[in-house]
Each structure stands twice: as C-alpha cells, then as structure tokens.
C-alpha cells in the first residue's frame, strides 16, 4: 500500500463513520492536537467528528534524516470524536483492518499513556497503541483542554503514519517509503529534513525568535480584546513554534523554558475561555 493510499483509506474509513475530513491546517503546529478543529472544537457541548492528515513540526526531534523514525517534520493522522463512542477501540481496530493489518496476527496492545500538553493547558488519559512493540497510535480521552473540563469528553486518535507505512511496506527508513508510484518519502522530504535540522539546531536566530515570540504574544492579547478568536489562536500557534525553535536551538535555561511554556499556556487558555464564553451582543452586530 503506497503512503498516499493509507491517508486516502483512512479518509474514506472515517468519512464513512461520520467525520468531516478536514484539510491540513496552514500554520506550523507541534501536533494535530493544536489544530483549531481539535483544540477549539473539543471545547463546549456540541457533538463533533473530524479526521484528516495533520503534518506536524517538532524542531527538537530532527536527526538530520539519519534516524529512521525521528523527524522534525512528520505526518500524523488525526481523528477527534466528540462525545467519545463506547465502541471506539473496536472501530479503531477496524481502521487498522482497512489498512490491511490483520489484528489477530500481531501483538496489539493498549499501553497506558497519560498525555499532557503543558503549553495547551490540556491533559487526558488513554493509551499508546503498540503493534509488535512499536507505538503506532496515541489514543486519548481529553479530560481538560485550555484549562477547562471537557464535557462531553472527546477521544483523540493520532496515528503515526510513517511507522504504520514502514511496517506495511517492509522498509527500514521512513525515507524509503513509496508515497506514489516512483516517488519516495525521501524524494519529498530528505532535503527539507536535513536543511531544517541544520536550521533548528545551528542556525535559528535566537534574538529574532525571542522578539517574534513577544510580538506574537502581544498580538494574541490585542486580538482577543476584539473577540477575534481564530486569528488570536493562530498567533498562539506561531508563538508556540517560536518557542519550539528556541528550545531546539538549546538557548533556553530550564527556568526560562518553564517561563515560555507558561506564557504559551496562558495564551491558549485565554483563547479557550473566549471561545466558550457566551457571545456578547455587541453594538454594531446586526
């Protein structure tokens, strides 16, 4: 199964189960959880089902393309179901079946994983799903998002696509994956990975990123005053990415790092609070 067939299959699978297939978002995120279609939509009482490819960036995880599994840019497949259905584990296992994995012929395990995102003020309980010792999915029941209790509770499924594809294609390095006939993942991403690894670890202009972080932070505050929640939230993501770059560059002391984490978290929480706040009837609203 070619890499793009995997995403197409998952799109079809989750579409058939009532999900909106949302296109990838266009601001850098550390994980699909940061997508507004996950973070914001997990808040409040409205039912919601969404799935789709979620390219993600974790600058510190770059290995210049040397490590077969770790990259600073990678693909997650992200599913959010609200409220969490009672049969979600079975449905998830069916989705593996749709990818051609016979779950009865592997060692599939749900291993405890307590997920927490300090920058999002979010936590949940669930599992890492292991297939033959390899973590292929994170499975999380959100308990709090943006500092607020989730009612109802959403369940988030995050597939590690490269790993699943490597297994399906029997290759040893994610860059050897065939994405489409005659095109490998390496063709698409090798230069990008090597150059960004070098940028993240060696070339990030720390002064610039610190300045940008401060500016993004102020922008969030200014925009929330105007109840421009979506634009404000995008600046939270930008601030978060600036922090991730500083972190990868290795210029943050422990306490400074904690300080940045808390600042991002405050921004994320204020967006969450604004998102669920009852809509004011402002002057000028028609």
Partner 1 sequence: MPDLLFEIGTEELPSWYVDQGREALHERVTALLEDAGLPYAQVTSFATPRRLAVRVTGLPEATERTTVKRRGPSAKVAFEADGSPSKAAAGFARGLGVDPNALRVETTERGDYVVVELEVGGEPTAEVLPERLAEVVRSLPAPRKMRWGSGELAFVRPVSWLVALLDDTVLPVDVDGLKADRVTRGHRFMAPDPIALDHPGAYEDRLRDAFVLASPQERRDRLREALAGAAAPEGLTPVEDDELLAEVVNLVEWPVAILGRFDARYLALPDEVLSTVMIHHQRYVPLQAPTGELADRFVGISNTVVGDASAVRAGYEAVLDGRLYDARFFWDSDRSQTLAQHAWGLAGIAFQKGLGTVEDKVARVRAVAPLVGQSVGLDEKTMAALQSALPLFKADLATGMVDELPELEGVMGRSYALEEGLSPAAAQALEDAVLPKVSGGALPAGDAGAVVSVCDRLDTLLGFFALGKRPSGSADPFGLRRAANGLARVLTANAWDVSLRDLVAMVAEGYADADVVASEDVRLEVERFVWDRVASLLGDEGVGVTAVRAATAGAPPVVLAARRAHLLDAVSATPAFEALQALYKRAANLGSQAPSGVAPDPSRFTEEEEAALLRSLPAAADGVETVIASLQRLLPGWDVGQGVAFDWTKVDGLDAVLSVKEPLDRYLDDVLVMVDDPKVRENRLALLRAVSDTLSALGAIDEALATSA
Chain residues in the site for partner 1 (CB under 8 A): 67-70, 83-86, 89, 103-112, 114, 124-125, 127, 131-134, 141, 143, 150-153, 155, 167, 172, 253-255, 258
Nearer to partner 1, 12 or 151 (CB): 151
CB of 75 to partner 1, least distance (A): 18
Nearer to partner 1, 18 or 231 (CB): 18
Closest CA to 33 of 71, 82, 72, 78: 78
CB of 228 to partner 1, least distance (A): 31
Nearer to partner 1, 28 or 247 (CB): 247
Do 11 and 51 meet the contact criterion of CB atoms below 8 Å apart?
A: yes
Nearer to partner 1, 20 or 60 (CB): 60
CB of 155 to partner 1, least distance (A): 8
Nearer to partner 1, 69 or 199 (CB): 69
Nearer to partner 1, 131 or 264 (CB): 131
SS (H, E, C) the chain: CCHHHHHHHHHHHHHHCCCEECCCCCCCCCCHHHCHHHHCCCCCCCCEEEEEEEEEECHHHCCCCCCCCCCCEEEEEEEEEECCCCCHHHHHHHHHHHCCCCHHHCCEEEEEEEEEECCCCEEEEEEEEEECCEEEEEEEEEEEECCEECCCCCEEEEEEHHHHHHHHHCCCCHHHCEEECCEEHHHHHHHHHHHHHHHHHHHCCHHHHHHHHHHHHHHHHHHHHCCCHHHHHHHHHHHHHHHHHHHHHCCCCHHHHHHHHHHHHHHHHHHHHHHHCCCCCCCCCC
CB of 103 to partner 1, least distance (A): 6
Nearer to partner 1, 75 or 127 (CB): 127
Q: How far apart are CA 190 and CA 177, in angstroms?
A: 12
CB of 236 to partner 1, least distance (A): 25
CB of 143 to partner 1, least distance (A): 6
CB of 41 to partner 1, least distance (A): 16
């Amino acid at each position: 199964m070619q890499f793009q067939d995997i995403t197409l299959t998952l799109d079809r699978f989750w579409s058939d189960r009532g999900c909106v297939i949302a296109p990838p978002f266009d601001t850098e995120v550390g994980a699909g959880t940061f997508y507004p279609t996950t973070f914001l939509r997990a808040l409040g009482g409205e039912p919601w089902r969404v799935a789709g490819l979620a390219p993600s960036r974790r600058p510190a995880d770059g290995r210049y393309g040397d490590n077969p599994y770790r990259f600073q840019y990678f693909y997650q497949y992200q599913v959010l179901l609200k409220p969490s259905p009672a049969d979600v584990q079975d449905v998830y296992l069916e989705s593996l079946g749709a990818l051609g994995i016979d779950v009865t012929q592997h060692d599939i395990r749900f291993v405890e994983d307590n997920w927490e995102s300090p920058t999002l003020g979010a936590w949940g309980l669930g599992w890492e799903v292991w297939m033959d010792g390899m973590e292929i999915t994170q499975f999380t029941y959100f308990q709090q998002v943006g500092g607020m209790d989730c009612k109802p509770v959403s369940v988030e499924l995050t597939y590690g696509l490269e790993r699943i594809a490597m297994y399906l294609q029997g290759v040893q390095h994610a860059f050897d994956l065939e994405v489409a006939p005659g095109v490998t993942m390496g063709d698409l991403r090798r230069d990008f990975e090597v150059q960004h690894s070098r940028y993240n670890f060696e070339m990030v202009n720390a002064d610039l990123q610190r300045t940008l972080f401060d500016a993004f932070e102020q922008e969030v505050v200014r925009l929330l005053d105007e109840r421009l929640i979506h634009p404000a939230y995008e600046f939270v993501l930008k601030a978060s990415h600036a922090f991730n770059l500083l972190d990868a560059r290795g210029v943050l002391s422990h306490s400074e790092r904690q300080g940045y984490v808390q600042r991002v978290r405050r921004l994320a929480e204020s967006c969450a609070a604004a998102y669920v706040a009852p809509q004011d009837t402002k002057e000028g609203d028609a």
